[in-house]
Every structure is written in structure tokens, then in C-alpha cells.
Amino acid sequence: MTNQTTVRRSLKSRERGSALLVSLMVIVGLSLLGLGFVAISETESAISVNQRNGLQAQAAAEAGARLAVEWFQDPAWARTQNIMPANVASAPYKTRRTVGGYSGVYKPSISTLLCDKPYKPNVIDRFYGNEESADLIFNTTTAATQIDAINTRLFGSTTAEVRISEIRIYAPPISGGVLTNGFWVGGTRYGVATIKATAERYNNTTVVASRVVRIAVGEFPLPVPGGPIQSKTGINLGGNFGVWWGTETSDTTLDDDKSGTSTFPWQNAYERPHFERGYEFPSQGANDVWPVVPGSTYDGSNYLTPLLGLSMTDPWFGQRSVGLNTSNCGGSTTAYMCGNYTAASAQTSSTFVAFQRQAINNYPDRQIPIFPDIKYDFWKRIAQQGRGTKGLYYFTWDSATLFKLNGAGTAREASYWVNTLGGGAKIGAGLYFFDTKTGQNPQNANGTTNTAILTPDMGWNGNAHFTSQFLMQGFIYFNAEEWGTTGSGNSAPNRPYSMPGEIYRDIGHRRWDTTTTAWAVDGTGAFITDGANNGGFDYQDLNGNSRLDVVTVDSGGGVYRLKTWGAATCTAPGVGYNGTNPTANDCSEPHEPYVNFIYPTSANANVTSGWQAGLGTQRVKYGGAICSYAAADNCTSNGYDDVGAAVPIDADLDGVLYNEGRYNPRGNARIYGSLLFKGSVVGLGTPFVYFDEKLLKGTYAPAGFPRVIIFNEQTDEQQ
């Protein structure tokens, strides 16, 4: 017994440590498991923090990119709010680029705003860089103060944990172009610009996340009218209907009693007279600057002299019809152009701007007038998808002539919705799309209109529709059987509206080589010409002051001409040239030929062609602007003016009005812009329609009207 007891005690003694070992093993296992859970928790927390940081940086980058979009939408507002930099000619945020014959920066003139219209066609107004060579680069190195201002406005501080670090603006997507030294040459441009915004998330001074957002913007696709009034079906006007400052066109016949108007002539359906033949004064040698066009019958005479000092009723007036022009061509079935202008003509008339039978393109006599291609589905989609966006408004038909905004709320007359003043809706300038009765497309595939679904006639009169002060602004799209007015009632008070710019020949100018003091030539010895047929006026800024400097001289009898560039003895006016202080050898900088206008102070007064001594007659171009030679873009002068003088007009419309149906003008409405009608234009009223040339040049931009739309957006890119 004793031995057995001893054995049992010995065994128990040996087993006593195993329990402790097992316990320790369990404890260690649990500890490791706990540590694993802790590690997983910390990893998940780190992932969550990283995701949060990335999302915050992405949101900030999106905000920065959208902010830059607003620079294009309303650059004046953006500058006032200090969220867009001031335009400085040689700022470090501007990249110098060489494109064709131009070597310089984007929008070099400090009197213009960055990202402002025009967006085209001149090189100075377009973006050409790729991402690495962006035309505009704003960061803490190139524009630290502005980046700080943006971050303060968006995030409340220059040292916020999340902030914008860089904004780049460069060329839009381009197809078929050639990238040369970081800038695109040629190709098809799909939009206005690309915006790249970079934002960073900081932990103290350490960047913990960075994101990039890219947005491509394109110009808002406003219809481009060819003149003050256009019809697809025909124009027959009586009474005192006034068509001013542009060309009225009809896709069938045209009958308007505006005849005998003194105007600036056309030589044929394609060309103004080649007035550059009398432009070179004093003579720099026979045909030294502009060569004679081979085979042309319009180069052999001095066409400029008869135009100097000419007082014209309306230099920009014209008529073009696919059918007969029964008013100015007298019902002739053979003539294509009414009249035959010659250099000896001392007085022009509307017969030299009236064309008919323009059914085909056949130089020089026939050129088809273009009616804007206005697609119902396209504009309806923009209006509907833009719901909630300022400037885009869609209306459904309710009954009679009543409409509802987005199909809800109180039904109102269209005249109430479009009125931006007085007793109107006052929702501002924009696209106003008024749908058909059924919401269906009235435009048939064969080009005709399904009139059965158009809304009833809208005849506006002074008492019922032009209540209080009245002004439409933007693009008004009606689908009515007929729209017309029987009186304008309480029109908006006289406001300053700009007359058209001066007439020029888009034939380019020779490039002056300042090194050789001669005209620049290419490898074959041919003269280099810049800016020909690009749709914009071009000149060579030899003194670098971002404006065309011209020198006028008395050619005898008080008739002034330009002292044109063309000899080695010519010198460029100084940077501080003010139009009155040329040196003996100063000449006008090389530029395309134009005819200077001396503008009146009222809309219907005559315009005189020709140059004057010194600064010439200066008129303010824009309401509220200050006119001085230092702010040359604000006033007319002896230099080329792409915008004319501002004159008072009591306009009921500032923009474009389109109707799928007819137009019946019976009242005295005043229009500044353009009227487009799918149906006929027949009436005996006394409206005046003044064409806004900015619609044709792509510079129409009333406050609040959308200027660009977003084509595409690329987000969530990690840096």
C-alpha cells in the first residue's frame, strides 16, 4: 500500500505543471487572437481614414473644377468675387506659346477678362496647350495669392486640411491635330477648354491624399443667325417694318419695302469690294502689301476712295432670298444681284446688297443663305436636363396660351414667364423652351411642321402682355402656330445696345520681320501671310502693347487715310502711343484692311466712313464703360472696332426668338437680336429689328445666360 501511495503521489506531482502550461497556452492564444482583432481594427480604421481623405480631396477637386467652370460662365462676377485672377499681360501663370505666326500668351490685353468671350476664332482667345504646357497654370508658385483666395472662399482658410493646390486650363479634346512643342496645331476642336483641378488633404504639413478632376467645357450651342430676321417659308412685309444692321433672308421669296437705303456695297454674293486696292497710302510700291488675286475682276481699281466720307443709312443692311426678291430686284427673274457696283460709284444703295435666286452655291453670283438648323429634340433635352440650373427653363402647355414651368405650379402666359422685368417672372436671361400641346416633336422628317400639335396663336398686346416694364433676354423657343405683337406697351426703358463693328477684308496681312526689317518670307522666298480667312480681324502687334496702333495722315482736302506699313523706313509707334504723338517715321502696324466708321449717337442716324485726325471720334461701345485711348477696347476710334458704338434702344427682346410657326408683326415692338421663323413672316406693323452682331461673332453673353456646358467630367483619379 505504501508503495502504491507513493507512486500515485509521484504521478500527481508530475501532472501538477501541465495544467499551468495548458492555461498559459490558452492565454497566449487568446492574447494573439485579441491582438489580431486589434490589428484588423486598426487596419480597417486606417483604410477608413484613407478613404475619407481621398473622398475629401476628390470633393475639393470637383469644387475647384466647378469653380473654374464659373469663370467661363460669368467672368465679370468671378472677378468681382475674387475667385478668378485679374488678367495680367505677362503674369507667371500664363504660358507663352507659338501657334502659326503668333507667339504670345492667351488674352494678352489687360482690358479683357480671362475666360471671357470671345472663345474664338483668334489665336489670343483660344487654348492650345496640352496638360503639361497648359495655357493657364494657377498654383502656389505662379499665383499664390489667388490660390489662397480660392481656398479661403471655398474652405474658409488658406491652411484648411483640404484645399486646392493647382488649376490648369488648356486645349479641349482635339482630333487630327499635331502636338508641336506642347501646343496643338490644326485638327478639330471639341469644345472650348479642358479644366484640371488638383486638391490635397493635409495632416499638419504632410499630404495624405491627392485627387484630380478634369472637366471639358464647350460653348453653349446658341443658334447662329445670319441677320435680324430670317424665315424658312417667306417674307412679305409692308408698313414701316424696320430691318437694321444685318441681312434679312428668306428660303423662298422676299418682299420688303426697305429700298433706297445707302449701304456698304457687295461686289458679288461672296465678296465686298476689294478696297485694299486704294488702301495703301502713301504708296509703298505697286501692290506691295496685298497681291492681285489671279483672275479677279475686282482688283484693278481704287475701290476705297468712293467710300471715304460716305454717309450711309445702314452700312450692314442686306437681303438674300432663295426665290425672288420682288422689292429690290423689281420682280426680275434673271438677275442674281440687284445692281452692278463699280469703283466710280460715289453713292451706294440697297441694290448693291440685294440678292435673289440664291438656290445653289456657285461663285461669284450665287450663295445659299443659311437658316440655322434648330432641332426640337436637341433644345428640349437641354432645357429638361438643365432643370434646376440657372438659365435653363422648360415649360409645358396647359391650355389656351398658358404654360407651366416644368409642368407644375401655376399656369401663366408665356409673356409672363419670359419677362425679366416689372411684373414678369424675373428669372433672368436664359433658354426658355415652350413645348407643343402634346409634348411631341412637330418637325417631320421631310422638313415640314406638324401644325396640329402646335400651341394656339400668341398675339401679344400692350395691355394684356407687355405689363409693367418688359424685356426678354436669351433664347426664346416657341412652338406656337403664330406669334406676333399688336403693340409693345410698357417696353423696357432705353438701354445702351452696341451697333455692329466695322467692315474688314479677311485676307490676312503680311508678317513683318523685325530682324531683317523686311516682309518675312518662307523657304521658297514667298511672303508669309497671317490670319487669312480665319473669321477674325488680325494685326501684328509690333510694339507689344496689345492693341492695333494706327497712324493717320491727311491725303489732301481734309481726307484722312492710314499711313500703312510697308517700307523699311517705317517704325512702330511707341508703347505709350495715344493716337496723337507719332514720330515722323511711325506707320500703322501691319493689319488686315478695314474701313473706319464714325458712329452716331442714335440708332437710326447715318454712319460715316473714313478716318480722322488724331484719335478720331470716340464713342462708348458698352453701357457703363469708360472711354479712353488707354482703355481702347471700350471706345470706337480710328483703329479697327469689332464692336460699334452703344446707342439707346427701348428693346422688348435682347437675344434670339424662334417660332416653329408663323410671325405676324402688327405692332411697334423693338427687337435687339434676331427673329427666326420656320413659318412665314407676313405683316403690316411697325416693328424695328436691330441685329446684334455678337450673335454672329459668338460673343453674345448677357448676365446670367449660360455660356458653356460641360461635355464630360473625369473624377476620382488618385495622384
Q: What is the pLDDT of residues 351-365, one digit of tens each?
A: 889 999 999 999 989
Say yes or no: 146 and 107 in one domain: yes
pLDDT of 14 above 60: no
Say yes or no: 714 and 658 in one domain: no
170 located within any domain: yes
Are 110 and 94 contacting, i.e. CB atoms less than 8 angstroms apart? no
pLDDT of 711 above 60: yes
Exposed (0-12), middle (13-18) or buried (19+): which is 433, by Cβ within 10 Å? buried
For residue 633, what pLDDT is reported? 76
H-helix or E-strand containing 105?
none
Are 185 and 157 contacting, i.e. CB atoms less than 8 angstroms apart? no
pLDDT of 207 above 80: yes
For residue 16, what pLDDT is reported? 60
pLDDT of 19 above 80: no
Confidence of residue 301 (pLDDT cuts 50, 70, 90): confident
% of the chain with per-residue pLDDT over 70? 90
> Global pTM?
0.87
| Range in 5-9, 212-216, 388-392 the model is least confident about | 5-9
477 located within any domain: yes
Say yes or no: 686 and 714 in one domain: no
Q: What is the DSSP letter of 326?
A: T
639 located within any domain: no
Closest CA relative to residue 200, chosen from 167, 244, 241, 239: 167
Say yes or no: 672 and 714 in one domain: no
Per residue, the 3-state secondary structure of 260-303, as one string, reads CCCCCCCCCCCCCCCHHHHCCCCCCCCCCCCCCCCCCCCCCCCC
Angle at the Cα of 680 (from 678 to 685), degrees rounded to 5? 125
How far CA 13 is from CA of 6, 16, 21, 145, 646, in Å, comes to: 11, 5, 14, 83, 114
For residue 629, what pLDDT is reported? 64
240 located within any domain: no
How far CA 414 is from CA of 215, 450, 605, 671, in Å, comes to: 35, 21, 34, 17
For residue 485, what pLDDT is reported? 86
Number of domains in the chain: 2
DSSP, collapsed to helix, strand or coil, labels residue 413 as strand
Domain containing 63 equals 51-222+710-718
Say yes or no: 682 and 714 in one domain: no
pLDDT of 490 above 60: no
Closest CA relative to residue 650, chosen from 618, 604, 606, 699: 604
607 forms beta bridges with 312
pLDDT of 707 above 80: yes
Handedness of CA 633, 638, 640, 642 (dihedral sign): positive
104 located within any domain: yes
669 located within any domain: yes
Residue with cell 484588423: 40
Say yes or no: 132 and 163 in one domain: yes
How far CA 204 is from CA of 152, 198, 207, 708, in Å, comes to: 17, 18, 8, 38
Say yes or no: 398 and 438 in one domain: yes
Summarize pLDDT for 640-684 with one digit per residue, the tens: 999 999 999 999 999 999 999 999 988 788 899 999 999 999 987
For residue 17, what pLDDT is reported? 61
Q: How remote is the C-alpha of 231 from its chain's centroid?
A: 24
pLDDT of 462 above 80: no
467 located within any domain: yes
Say yes or no: 685 and 714 in one domain: no
Summarize pLDDT for 557-602 with one digit per residue, the tens: 888 988 888 878 899 999 888 888 899 999 999 999 999 999 999 9
For residue 39, what pLDDT is reported? 62
pLDDT of 546 above 60: yes
Residue with cell 486640411: 161
For residue 489, what pLDDT is reported? 55
> How many Cβ atoms sit within 10 Å of the Cβ of residue 144?
12
For residue 587, what pLDDT is reported? 92
Confidence of residue 286 (pLDDT cuts 50, 70, 90): very low
Are 550 and 588 contacting, i.e. CB atoms less than 8 angstroms apart? yes
How high is the mean pLDDT of the chain?
87
Say yes or no: 669 and 714 in one domain: no
169 forms beta bridges with 136, 195
Say yes or no: 391 and 429 in one domain: yes
Handedness of CA 458, 459, 463, 467 (dihedral sign): positive
186 located within any domain: yes
Cell triple for residue 467? 405689363
Cell triple for residue 254? 422676299
Residue 161's contacts (CB-CB under 8 Å, 6 or more residues apart) are 56, 201, 202, 203
